[in-house]
Structure 1
Amino acid sequence: MTEEGRKTEAEEAAGEQPQRRKGTAERMWAPIKLHLDEDYQYMTKNVFLRFLYYFAMFVGMPFAYLFFKIRWGFHVIGKENAKLVRKTSAITVANHVHNMDSPMLTYVFYPSAPYFVALKHNFEAFIIGGLVRVLRGVPLPSDLKNFERFFEQMNDTLQNTTRKVHIYPEAEISPYCKGLRKFKNGAFHFAVKNDVPVLPLTFVFPKKNKINLIVGKPVYLKDVPGTEGLKEPKQTVLMCRYVKEQMQKMIDDYYGGLK
Structure 2
Amino acid sequence: MNTKPSKHHTIYYTSITDDVVESKKQDFTLPDNYQIIKHTPLNYLMRFLAAGFAYLFTYGIMHVKVIGRDKLFKYKNEGYFIYGNHTQMVNDVFMPLTLFGWKNYYAIANQANWGIPVIGKTLLPYGGLPVGKNIKQAIKLLKAVKTLTKENAHIVIYPEAHVWPYYTSIRSFPETSFNFPVQANKASFVMTTTYQKRKFGKHPKITVYIDGPFFPDSTLTKKEQQKKLHDQVFDQLKKRSKNSSYQYYHYQKREIGD
Percent identity (aligned): 21
Secondary structure of the equivalent of 2:43? helix
Secondary structure of the equivalent of 1:218? strand
Cα offset, 1:183, TM superposition: 1.7
How far apart are the structure 1 equivalents of 2:148 and 2:134?
21
Aligned position for 1:117:
108
Given the alignment of the two structures, is residue 236 of structure 1 paired with residue 231 of structure 2, yes or no? no
Secondary structure of the equivalent of 2:172? coil
Q: What is the alpha-carbon root mean square deviation over aligned residues?
A: 2.6
Which range is displaced more, 168-177 or 111-120?
111-120
**Larger strand proportion of the pair:** 2
**Larger helix proportion of the pair:** 1
- Are the counterparts in 2 of residues 98 and 173 from structure 1 also a CA contact under 8 Å? yes
- After superposition, residues 137-148 of structure 1 pair within 5 angstroms as 137-148=128-139
Match for residue 24 of structure 2 among 27, 30, 50 = 27
Aligned position for 2:144:
153
- After superposition, residues 30-69 of structure 1 pair within 5 angstroms as 35-37=30-32, 39-57=33-51, 60-61=52-53, 64-69=54-59
Q: Which structure exhibits the higher relative contact order, with contacts defined as CA atoms closer than 8 Å and separated by 6 or more residues? A: 2
- Structure 1 gap segments, 5+ residues each: 1-17, 223-227
Cα offset, 1:29, TM superposition: 9.6
Give the alignment's TM-score, normalised by structure 2.
0.77
Secondary structure of the equivalent of 1:91? strand
Residue 128 to residue 255, structure 1, CA distance change in 2 (3 Å)? closer
Secondary structure of the equivalent of 1:216? strand
Residue 88 to residue 70, structure 1, CA distance change in 2 (3 Å)? closer
- Structure 2 gap segments, 5+ residues each: 1-15, 198-202, 246-258
How far apart are the structure 2 equivalents of 1:113 and 1:103?
13
Cα offset, 1:140, TM superposition: 1.4
Aligned position for 2:165:
175
Which range is displaced more, 112-121 or 94-103?
112-121
Residue 20 to residue 151, structure 1, CA distance change in 2 (3 Å)? farther
How far apart are the structure 2 equivalents of 1:35 and 1:180?
29
Aligned position for 1:216:
211
Given the alignment of the two structures, is residue 93 of structure 1 paired with residue 87 of structure 2, yes or no? no
Q: Give the AA of the match of 2:186.
A: V
Residue 247 to residue 126, structure 1, CA distance change in 2 (3 Å)? closer
Residue 136 to residue 35, structure 1, CA distance change in 2 (3 Å)? same
Q: Give the AA of the match of 2:143.
A: E
Give the alignment's TM-score, normalised by structure 1.
0.76
How far apart are the structure 2 equivalents of 1:40 and 1:67?
29
- Are the counterparts in 1 of residues 168 and 244 from structure 2 also a CA contact under 8 Å? no
Deviations 1:15-67 (A, max 9, x none): xxx9784734x22699xx65332x4322222332332222332xx42xx4334
Secondary structure of the equivalent of 2:155? strand
How far apart are the structure 2 equivalents of 1:153 and 1:20?
28
- Are the counterparts in 2 of residues 113 and 135 from structure 1 also a CA contact under 8 Å? no
